Amino acid sequence: MIAKYDIVIYNLVLLLYINEFRRINLDYILRKEVLGNENSRLY
């Protein structure tokens, strides 16, 4: 029983971690795009 619960909790944590990682990556990519556009306008 305990092993099953451990696997479930581990999977939930993994999913949350992956979603957070994706969100951070998207934010970073979007920011880089915006900064890149601003830089190209400045130069």
Q: pLDDT digit string (tens) for 1-43? A: 678 889 999 999 999 999 888 888 888 888 887 777 666 555 4
The mean predicted confidence, pLDDT, of the chain is 81
Number of folded domains in the chain? 1
Longest CA pairwise span in the chain (Å): 63
Measured between alpha carbons, how far is 20 from 23 in angstroms, rounded to an integer? 5
pLDDT of residue 41: 59
Measured between alpha carbons, how far is 40 from 38 in angstroms, rounded to an integer? 6
By residue range, what is the domain housing residue 30? 1-43
